[in-house]
Amino acid sequence: MAIATTTQYWTSRMNGGNPAALTQGQDNESFTLAGSALDGTVSDKSWQITDANGGQMWSVIPTTDDYTVITSLKYTVAPADTTTLLSIDNGAYKVSVESTGDLQTLRLVGDTSVVTRALDLAQTDDFDAVPLMIRLTLDSAGNAKLYMREIIEDDNATINYLSVTGATGVTKKIEWGNTSGTIIWNNVYVTTQGAFSPDEISTSAFVTDSLLRMAMSVIQVLRDSNRFYLKNYVDPSSILYGYDISSQMVTRVPQPSIHVILRQLDSPEFTTLGGTRIEQNYTVVMFITTRGTDYKNAYRTGMEIAGDSFDELYTTTGLKGNTDSLTNYTITFDTKLDDDEVVCVHRMELTYMRRLNMLHR
């Protein structure tokens, strides 16, 4: 999947109120109940489902083939083993997340099954400030993934999600809830518009509009480029977001490298009354780093990479009329100041303007 576009968003958003009456934001499709309405109630700004009368299962019926569900939940009473909590079926493939009967793990079930690491589903520790978030995706080819705590890779670059191929599907449906135990469902978000990873759509429209659609999309454009220096000199793994551009981190990344940072965004004037449409300006900074015993060669190579980067971004992302435009740029070329200096860092700053629909929030 690719990063969510400006016309892709969460199509159902339950923030703790009645799932059958979702009124927050535009195009927020409510869920349909299968089960007793008596088994679900609002509890401390969350939706609590018990199994007194069989529990509840809530669903939406999509017309597309690629789906994402993300939820934050907490066990009060652990559901019985094999109780389905989340289920996605696109007609061709089906995948589900089940209880394992304990307070620590979940099971991802497709044509095979796999159990998660310990997740602390009860969160009995009052000092546990990190709520459990799980994201389930299924695409049209049957690839299913379960992300835990919105982490794709851990600090050791180890994959932190589970994958299976979906089992044979029955009929299109996205479903959540429990028919056993007691679960507090803090939030449930669904989109029928794609199978998105945490780097492709966020629960926050603000983060999706800024970090993902702007900074992460710039990184993907550069990685996909076939221009001479970007294609032949820069490894895709060395084009990354600049969470850490300290000297220690730079030495760990194969050179040459490009670090992209979203430095600032602003909306000096709303386009419409009430702010339903706004024009937003994004300041994106790129650090092009090269290394060499001959500083002149490092300088020239960095300039070539910077040139390819600008040309690719200008032609690919900066000429989309009233939806996405590159309005100005500045580039500062590095200069050798020390005899021992072997690293050259050119700095490019780009300003984009994008028009946004602010109602899908």
**pLDDT at position 323, please?**
57
Three-point CA angle 343, 349, 351, nearest 5°: 165
Looking at the fold, whether 187 and 209 belong to one and the same domain comes out as no
Do 211 and 322 lie in one domain? The reply is yes
pLDDT tens readout for residues 52-87: 889 999 999 999 999 999 999 999 999 999 999 999
Q: Read off the CATH number of the domain in which 145 is found.
A: 2.60.120.200
Q: How confident is the model at residue 339 (pLDDT cuts 50, 70, 90)?
A: low
134 falls in which pLDDT band (50, 70, 90)?
Answer: very high
For residue 361, name the pLDDT band (cuts at 50, 70, 90): low
The number of beta carbons lying within 10 Å of the beta carbon of residue 145 is 20
Do 49 and 16 lie in a common domain? yes
> Mean of the per-residue pLDDT values for the chain?
88
On whether the CB atoms of residues 38 and 52 are closer than 8 A, the answer is yes
**Would you state the pLDDT for residue 65?**
97
| Number of independent structural domains in the chain | 2
Whether residue 125 is found in the same domain as residue 265: no
* Banded model confidence at residue 274, pLDDT cuts 50, 70, 90: low
Chosen domain end from 163, 191, 219? 191
| Domain shared by 275 and 352, yes or no | yes
Residue 113 lies in a domain: yes
Q: Is residue 165 part of a domain?
A: yes
Query: pLDDT higher for 266 or 51?
Result: 51
C-alpha–C-alpha distance, residues 123 and 146, integer Å: 20
How many other β-carbons are positioned within 10 Å of the β-carbon of residue 338? 7
Evaluate if residue 127 carries a pLDDT over 70. Answer: no
CB 22 within 8 A of CB 28: yes
| Residue 125 pLDDT greater than 60, yes or no | no
pLDDT value of residue 86: 98
Mean pLDDT, rounded, for 291-308: 91
Q: Identify the domain containing residue 128 by its residue range.
A: 12-191
Q: What is the 3-state secondary structure (H, E, C) of 118-162?
A: CCCCCCCCCCCCCCCEEEEEECCCCEEEEEECCECECCCCCECEE
The answer to whether 87 and 174 have CB atoms below 8 angstroms apart is yes
**Domain-embedded: residue 2:** no
Q: Is the pLDDT of residue 286 over 70?
A: yes
Res 155: pLDDT: 64
Residues 6+ apart with CB under 8 A from 345: 287, 288, 289, 302, 334
Q: Is residue 251 scored above 60 in pLDDT?
A: yes
Q: Are 67 and 90 in contact (CB under 8 A)?
A: yes
pLDDT for position 144 = 97
The answer to whether 85 touches 146, Cβ cutoff 8 Å, is no
Of 157, 191, 225, at which residue does a domain stop?
191
Of 127, 157, 191, the position where a domain reaches its end is: 191
Report helix, strand or coil for 225: coil
pLDDT over 80 (residue 267): no
How far is 26 from 12, CA to CA, in rounded Å? 10
Asked if residue 324 has pLDDT above 80, the reply is: no
Which pair of tokens denotes residue 140?
A: 């049209």
pLDDT in tens, 182-228: 999 999 999 999 999 999 999 998 898 888 888 898 999 999 999 99
